[in-house]
Amino acid sequence: MSTAPPQVAAAAPSVIETPEYRDVWVYLQRDGDSLSSDSRELIAAGRRVADKLKQQVVGVLLGSGLKGIAQEAVAYGADRVLLVDDPALADYFSLRIVDTLDYLVKKRKPYSFLFLSTEQGKDLAPRLAYREKTGLATDNIQLEVDDYFSPAAKATYKNLVIQIRPDFGTRVARIYTPRNRPQMSTVRPGNFEALPRDPDRKGIVENIALPVKGKTYSAVVKEIRELPKPGVNLKDAQVVISLGMGILRDKSGRVRDPREAYRLVLKLKAAIEQKEGLKVEVGASRALIYAELKELEGLISKDNQVGQTGTTVGAQVYIALGISGALQHRVGMQRCKRIVAVNLDPNAPIFQIAHYPIVEDVYDFLPEMIARIEGSKNEA
Amino acid sequence: MLIIALLKGVPARTTKVVTVGGVLRREEMDIVLNPHDSKAVEAADYVRRKVGGKTVALSMGPDIKLSPLIKPLYRAEVFGVDEAFILSDRKMAGADTLATSYAVSLGVRKVLERHVKPVEELISLISSGASADVVAARARELYGQNLLPNKVYSDLPSVKDSAIGMFAAGKASADQTTKLLEDTKSSFSQFIIVSGIKTTDGETGSVGPQVAESLSEMMGLDFPHLTYVEDFEIDPATLVVEAERKIGRLVQKVELHCPALLTISPEYAPRPPDPSNQVSVRGNNFRGKTLNPMKWTADELGADAARLGLAGSPTIVGPGVDIGKPPVQKIIGKSIVFTKRVEKFSSGGADFGPYDAGDLAQALPEAVFADLNAKGLLGVFTLQMFQRELFS
């Protein structure tokens, strides 16, 4: 007989659920008379979370003259749309929007509320989060659903939305909001793929009257104008060819006119478009854009910037020319399917994520690549 | 006018920083002033030149680290701050944006109180019937502590009509003086807060809007905020700000009545100073600068400890995870790949394949590799293969 001391039954760990909070809300933005393409991605992000939670995706759409946009949100995967269409919401004004969202959140109690990491999302979500006394995880690139055990509370929180965002260095961090609802996040555009449009998809569009009518604020929008759409569409490109500071010198250390590299890139772009039938755009690293080179004036601008503070791209092919690959750049392009990195420095961090690392001079690589592609289909 | 600039110390590097369970240990790192905050200081300085008043820097973090960052701002020639407060307390450590904004807005409230109280004190001195000399003596003391604007009391030869000066000289009645003091007191509540658009460490950009929301709650009003301000002007008489900001593809002109909070875009450049308003600017200015940054603890702020630091933070940062695995890399002219498709096969009791042309062959056991190679199924990854694969 063993003389082991009698076992004390371990206290069952407490499990915390919040069934009174339901559904994944997504804050939708318009682009002219249609749903913004970022918002379609956001619906897909919400869909991913809601399906795992077995909850609904609820689009929240505020503005004036929104005819048809709510139905678009349904076609792209929303189960329900809360539509507040009122002339008072015609001009974007954050306090009025936050007041409206606050009313809806308190009344309906969403489980999670997603915004885009756009200027608008980052203007509204923090203020709403403070008002609801809940957490906000910004700039997420992925969302999961999982249980979370809190050692401090000795409790397991069931089915939390795990918010994943870039962290210091080469890492991502997981952010949890265990105790507060809704769990609020902003999602960086370019990290989720929009669902295919299904015009027959059924969903409910709920018209909601502006809850606080006629309220005035100590700030007023006096004037509003819309800037033209940028000429560069990095987000929808199938191939992105990006330039970095490496184009300023060649392998012998000689200073090169960056316009040479730019012209070669345009040639490569034309060759790929013609021979492969793919949509190609020219990108650039932040360093190159902020260097504000006289030579590149009018050729590349902030619209071309790939990375954390620029555009996040998800192209089939990404060709990084002379880009060292700081984390801020990598988070903007690492989702691309095939990454080619051409750099003279074999230790450049870009090589850590490149599928095709090429330690070569950009000025040697480009002409060869152009010649090959231009000649390719003619041979066949 | 009180002009409050929110500043933050951020790690000088964003790699190899010490993190323990996801919490940054700022006291163990080299920190610098958040680069975006220099625009807030420029904007604050512009308001002080235009309207007059006092520029107050407000920051949260270990005061030992922050003090050296803020001190050079006093000496800055083009712009500068007049006074600085650091919210420094272990209880505030590990705060997310919600807990940070709560603490910072308490700091803003305390800056306000610090300036309202001396004026209230003078009002009650006058109403208690104290002699003009007693009132003037107390005002001189408070002025010396940099707590009264020149228009209330001044020792500048160019200011001859300060409220207390006129009262002491018998040129203004108690009622008139009290009225002026009441106006000054209420003008303090029309303050302006400026901050950078975000910090380079957290990159959230959330604290500006959240401080405005927290102040709405504390002050019982709709405290407006405006993000990404690229240009603004302030009317010294009405303290109405007209700001232009870019939000997405929208450019907006927004009129805000102070109190208000602006986050200042890197695109901001101060307008040239306007010399027409110098008398009123001087009247609104204070005696000078309070050189050493002052520290405020959680207790001094009257903070609810449950809303500070880790305890008051709804978000929990899990341990960091490395992004993905290194991809399967193919090096042109070096990597050995399959040249044809090879169906599933067995060798030495293990199953292999199937393999597609272009798949890497390097991880195969030596014998299998040699066998396949002998059959001519393997080859070096060529530029031609690369090109074919890239656009397939």
Question: Collapsing DSSP states into helix, strand and coil, what is residue B177?
Answer: helix
User: What mean pLDDT do residues B234-252 have?
Assistant: 95
> Is the pLDDT at A257 greater than 80, yes or no?
yes
User: What stretch(es) of chain B map to CATH 3.40.50.620?
Assistant: 2-307
Would you place residue B326 in the very low, low, confident or very high pLDDT band (cuts 50, 70, 90)? low
Selected for mutation to probe chain A from B18, B219, B316, B330 (highest A CB count within 10 Å) is B316
Would you place residue B203 in the very low, low, confident or very high pLDDT band (cuts 50, 70, 90)? confident
Of B157-171, B288-302, B345-359, the least confident:
B345-359
CB-CB under 8 Å, A174 with B260: no
Counting residues of chain B whose pLDDT is more than 70, the rounded percentage is: 92
- Is the peptide bond prior to B326 cis by the omega test (within 30 degrees of 0)? no
B49, with CB counted inside 10 A (0-12, 13-18, 19+), is buried
User: What mean pLDDT do residues A228-250 have?
Assistant: 91
- What H or E segment, with its residue span, contains residue A292? none
The number of distinct structural domains making up chain A is 2
Of A46-55, A160-169, A304-313, B154-163, the least confident:
A160-169
**Claim to verify: residue A296 and residue A363 sit in the same structural domain:** yes
* B224, two tokens: 């407006």
List C-alpha distances in Å: B370 to A159, A165, B342, B365, B378: 50, 45, 15, 9, 9
Selected for mutation to probe chain A from B36, B265, B390, B392 (highest A CB count within 10 Å) is B390
User: Which chain B residues contact residue A29 at CB under 8 A?
Assistant: 248
Q: What is the CATH number of the domain that holds A282?
A: 3.40.50.1220
CB-CB under 8 Å, B249 with A226: yes
Q: Which of B11, B16, B314 sits opposite A179 (nearest CB)?
A: B314
Position B200 scores a pLDDT of 78
- Is the peptide bond prior to A13 cis by the omega test (within 30 degrees of 0)? no
CB-CB under 8 Å, A118 with B222: no
> Is the pLDDT at B363 greater than 90, yes or no?
no
> Is the pLDDT at B324 greater than 70, yes or no?
no
- What H or E segment, with its residue span, contains residue A81? strand A80-85
Report if residue A220 sits inside a domain.
Answer: no
**Claim to verify: residue A202 and residue A348 sit in the same structural domain:** no
Report if residue A231 sits inside a domain.
Answer: no
Per-residue buried b or exposed e for A133-169, using 16+ beta carbons within 10 Å of the residue's own CB: ebbbbbbbbbbebeebeeeeeebbbbbbbbbbbbbbe
Report if residue A246 sits inside a domain.
Answer: yes
CA-CA distance, A232 to A228, in Å (whole number)?
11
The DSSP annotation for B195-254 comes to: EES--TTT----HHHHHHHHHHHHHTS---EEEEEEEEEE-TTT-EEEEEEEETTEEEEE
Would you place residue B325 in the very low, low, confident or very high pLDDT band (cuts 50, 70, 90)? low
User: What mean pLDDT do residues A196-209 have?
Assistant: 97
CA-CA distance, B35 to B265, in Å (whole number)?
11
> Is the pLDDT at A379 greater than 50, yes or no?
no
User: What mean pLDDT do residues A10-36 have?
Assistant: 88
Q: What is the mean pLDDT of chain B?
A: 90
Distance from CA of A298 to the nearest CA of B (A): 18
**Claim to verify: residue A260 and residue A187 sit in the same structural domain:** no
**Claim to verify: residue A117 and residue A193 sit in the same structural domain:** yes
DSSP class of residue B293 equals P
Of A189, A207, A225, which marks where a domain is finished? A207
**Claim to verify: residue A151 and residue A271 sit in the same structural domain:** no
* Residue type for position A59: G
Q: What is the ipTM of this complex?
A: 0.85
Q: Which of A92, A95, A272 sits opposite B252 (nearest CB)?
A: A92
> Is the pLDDT at B18 greater than 50, yes or no?
no
Of A150, A184, A207, which marks where a domain is finished? A207
Of A57-61, A180-184, B66-70, B114-118, the least confident:
B66-70
Report if residue A227 sits inside a domain.
Answer: no
Selected for mutation to probe chain A from B29, B96, B204 (highest A CB count within 10 Å) is B204
Q: Given 1.10.760.10, 1.10.1740.10, 3.40.50.620, 3.30.1490.190, which CATH number is that of B2-307?
A: 3.40.50.620
User: What mean pLDDT do residues A133-159 have?
Assistant: 93
Position A173 scores a pLDDT of 86
CB-CB under 8 Å, B314 with A133: yes
Residue in this structure with the two tokens 């107390």, named with its chain if needed: B138
**Claim to verify: residue A259 and residue A195 sit in the same structural domain:** no
Give the strands of the sheet with A239-243, arranged side by side. A280-284, A239-243, A317-321, A338-342, A356-358
Would you place residue A11 in the very low, low, confident or very high pLDDT band (cuts 50, 70, 90)? low
Report if residue A9 sits inside a domain.
Answer: no
Selected for mutation to probe chain A from B6, B190, B229, B254 (highest A CB count within 10 Å) is B254
CB-CB under 8 Å, B213 with A131: yes
User: Which chain B residues contact residue A239 at CB under 8 A?
Assistant: 391
What's the domain range around A124?
A: 14-207
CA-CA distance, B13 to B111, in Å (whole number)?
32
**Claim to verify: residue A57 and residue A180 sit in the same structural domain:** yes
Under 8 Å between Cβ of A134 and A181: yes
CB atoms within 10 A of CB B195: 32
Region of residue A349 (phi > 0: left; psi between -120 and 50: alpha; otherwise: beta): alpha
User: What mean pLDDT do residues A237-263 have?
Assistant: 94
B334, with CB counted inside 10 A (0-12, 13-18, 19+), is exposed
Distance from CA of B253 to the nearest CA of A (A): 5
Q: What is the CATH number of the domain that holds A74?
A: 3.40.50.620
CB-CB under 8 Å, A133 with B98: yes
CB-CB under 8 Å, A356 with B252: no
List C-alpha distances in Å: B374 to A113, B335, B369: 60, 17, 9
Q: Read off the pLDDT of residues B83-139 as tens digits, 9 standing for 90 and up.
A: 999 999 999 999 999 999 999 999 999 999 999 999 999 999 999 999 999 999 999
